[in-house]
Amino acid sequence: MFRRATTRVLLLLCAMYMITYVDRVNVSTAASQFGPELHLSHTQVGFVFSAFAWPYLVFQIIGGWVGDRFGPRRTLALCSIIWAGATVMTGLSGGFVSLIVARLLLGFGEGATFPTATRAMSNWMPAETRGFAQGITHAASRIGNAVAPPLIVWLMLTTGWRGSFIATGIASFLWALVWIWYFRDDPRDHPRITDGECAALATYSGVKERAPVPWRRLSFRMAPVTLVYFCYGWVLWLFLGWIPQYFLHNYHMQLGKSALFSSGVFFAGVLGDWLGGALTDRILRRTGRVRLARNAMVGVSMFFTLLSLAPILFVSNISVTLAALCLSAGFFFNEMTIGPMWAVPMDIAPKYAGTASGIMNTGSALAAIVSPTLGGWLIDRTGNWNLPFTFSMALMAVGIVLSFTMRPDRVMLTDEDAERAKTATLGKFV
259 lies in some domain: yes
- Percent of the chain exceeding pLDDT 70 equals 92
More confident residue, 273 or 201: 273
195 lies in some domain: no
196 lies in some domain: no
pLDDT tens per residue, range 100-132: 999 999 988 988 888 888 888 888 888 778 778
pLDDT band for 423, please (50, 70, 90 cuts).
Answer: low
Domain count, the chain: 1
Q: What is the pLDDT of residue 194?
A: 85
363 lies in some domain: yes
Q: For 32-42, what is the mean pLDDT?
A: 83
What is the per-residue DSSP string for 10-55?
Answer: HHHHHHHHHHHHHHHHHHHHHHHHHHHHTT--HHHHHHHHHHTHHH
**CB of 13 closer than 8 Å to CB of 117:** yes
Q: For 346-371, what is the mean pLDDT?
A: 84
* Average pLDDT, rounded, for the chain: 84
53 lies in some domain: yes
CATH code for the domain in which residue 307 is found: 1.20.1250.20
pLDDT band for 79, please (50, 70, 90 cuts).
Answer: very high
Q: What is the pLDDT of residue 208?
A: 47
pLDDT band for 177, please (50, 70, 90 cuts).
Answer: very high
Q: For 333-357, what is the mean pLDDT?
A: 87
200 lies in some domain: no
pLDDT band for 225, please (50, 70, 90 cuts).
Answer: very high
Q: What is the pLDDT of residue 205?
A: 61
419 lies in some domain: no
More confident residue, 198 or 86: 86
Q: For 90-107, what is the mean pLDDT?
A: 90
Neighbouring residues of 171: CB distance < 8 A, sequence distance ≥ 6: 19, 22
424 lies in some domain: no
Closest CA to 396 of 292, 312, 293, 278: 312
Which residues span the domain enclosing 250?
Answer: 5-187+214-412
Whether the pLDDT of residue 222 is over 90: the answer is yes
